[in-house]
Amino acid sequence: MFGTQSTRDISFEFQSQIPNWRPSIYTRRANITVKFQDLYGFTVEGNVDDVNVLNEVREKVRQQGRVWWALEANKGANWYLQPQISSISEGIALKSSLKLSALTNTITLKRLIRKGIPPVLRPKVWFSLSGAAKKRSTVPESYYNDLTKAVEGKVTAATRQIDHDLPRTFPGHPWLDTSEGHATLRRVLVGYSFRDSDVGYCQGLNYVAALLLLVMKTEEDAFWMLAVLLENVLVNDCYTNNLSGCHVEQRVFKDLLAKKCPRIAAHLEALEFDVSLVATEWFLCLFSKSLPSETALRVWDVLFNEGAKVLFHVALAIFKMKEEELLLAHQVGDVINILQKTTHHLFDPEELLTVAFDKIGSMTTNTISKQRKKQEPAVMAELDQRLRRLNSLNEDDK
């Protein structure tokens, strides 16, 4: 998806071999590889099938846009921005003051969002649904500007790491990989590292923030989206010092896989394949690094409306979609190849989301919260034990 390697780095001998190896290796029906830019400026490398799928997706996006306009004509402008019964807080008793119309709007909206938010409406809808707008309204208007001004020129461990990662975040992207793109991404990441010093900077956030910047109109909105993601949408401590939240999510994911895809789970266990080997990146980058951009953003559409459980739906769906193939794999490398090939080629978001929500079946935020609670002590104990072991290593050293 983000193939950016330039030919100048390839040795001459290597180049001369290209015509020889390419056709013999691609066993796919279409042999020709095409390189082009997708909707968000990422370079996509795919075959003719992929291009066709992307064109269909583009058409579907247009159709979906018409559905949204029609509803707007019917329900009034910005109807979707009205107070929601947020799925994120589902389980909290519905307030009696809620009107029936709000309820039906919520249901309509949920279904609509699973079908995709038109790219042009994304910034507005995300900002409202995720709670970013509300978060921002609790601080003075000038918060972001003041923050970025106050931290300008400061050097911390986090800023050094951010500087290091700027050119390594989607290198080759026509905007992100420019001095303007780097500077903007830097302000957002550095600003956040000062807002929450427990998180500071965690690798992975660079990709998340970069994609947010591409979607949201302004860097300030991207900053607030990042804040609401880390502080409200995702589970706590996903990105803090030992990634404990991420460890918890991985354990929950393993349990869910055993429950929802028992055959795959059993097979992978027999191969001694730990699903976290691949799923960790999915959860930390919220699929921004593994799925084609529009597909990743469709996942985010639902993520901001329904909460972090969506990540489990999508991760399970990726395994589920390839169940038969995975069951035939007998080596760890083959399993990874199947999963990587699948994610990189998921140009049709519909294909993924249908499995994620229809085939996987419902999981409420409540049950997932319970599972997290169940796993937390074990994760904490394990991390603590590890830390003590490492500390004792250091003492041995002295």
Note the residues at the interface with another protein (CB under 8 A).
2-5, 9-11, 13-14, 17, 20-22, 24-26, 33, 45, 161, 164-165, 167-171, 202-204, 206-207, 239-244, 247, 272, 274, 276-278, 280-281, 284-285, 289, 331-333, 336-337, 340-341, 344, 383, 386, 389-390, 393-394, 396-397
Looking at beta carbons only, is 24 or 97 nearer to another protein? 24
How far from 313 is each of 22, 204, 284, CA to CA, in Å? 36, 20, 15
Q: How far is the CB of 205 from another protein (least distance, A)?
A: 10
* Least gap, CB of 5 to another protein (angstroms): 6
Q: Which two tokens stand for residue 228?
A: 């609401």
CA dist., res. 343 & res. 2, Å (int) = 13
Residues 248, 306: Cα–Cα separation, whole Å: 19
CB 293 to another protein: min, Å: 15
Q: Which is nearer to another protein, 43 or 369 (CB)?
A: 43
Structure tokens at 12: 């001459």
CB of 173 or CB of 298, closer to another protein: 173
Q: Which is nearer to another protein, 280 or 295 (CB)?
A: 280
CB 361 within 8 A of CB 370: no
Query: Residue 209 Cβ, how far from another protein at the closest point, in Å?
Result: 13
> To the nearest whole angstrom, how small is the minimum distance from the Cβ of residue 290 to another protein?
10
Nearer to another protein, 167 or 361 (CB): 167
Q: What is the nearest approach in angstroms of another protein to the Cβ of residue 213?
A: 17
* Closest distance to another protein from the beta carbon of 168 (Å): 4
Q: Which residues pair with 37 in a beta bridge?
A: 43
What residue has token string 């409540």?
366
Give the nearer residue to another protein in terms of CB position, either 105 or 159.
159
From 41, 27, 8, select the one nearest 292 (Cα to Cα).
Answer: 41
Nearer Cβ to another protein (4/364): 4
Closer to another protein by Cβ: residue 184 or 290 = 290
From the CB of 282, what's the least distance to another protein, in Å?
Answer: 8
The 3-state secondary structure of the chain reads CCCCCCHHHCCHHHHHHHHHHHHHHCCCCCCCCEEEECCCCCEEEECHHHHHHHHHHHHHHHHHHHHHHHHHHHHCCCHHHCCCCCHHHECECCCCCCCHHHHHHHHHHHHHHHCCCCCCCHHHHHHHHCCHHHHHHCCCCCHHHHHHHHHCCCCCHHHHHHHHHHHHCCCCCCCCCCHHHHHHHHHHHHHHHHHCCCCCCCCCHHHHHHHHHHHCCCHHHHHHHHHHHHHHHCCCCCCCCCCHHHHHHHHHHHHHHHHHCHHHHHHHHHCCCCCHHHHHHHHHHCCCCCCCHHHHHHHHHHHHHHCCHHHHHHHHHHHHHCHHHHHHCCCHHHHHHHHHHHHHCCCCHHHHHHHHHHHCCCCCHHHHHHHHHHHHHHHHHHHHHHHHHHHHHHHHHC
Q: Which is nearer to another protein, 97 or 179 (CB)?
A: 179
Nearer to another protein, 16 or 142 (CB): 16
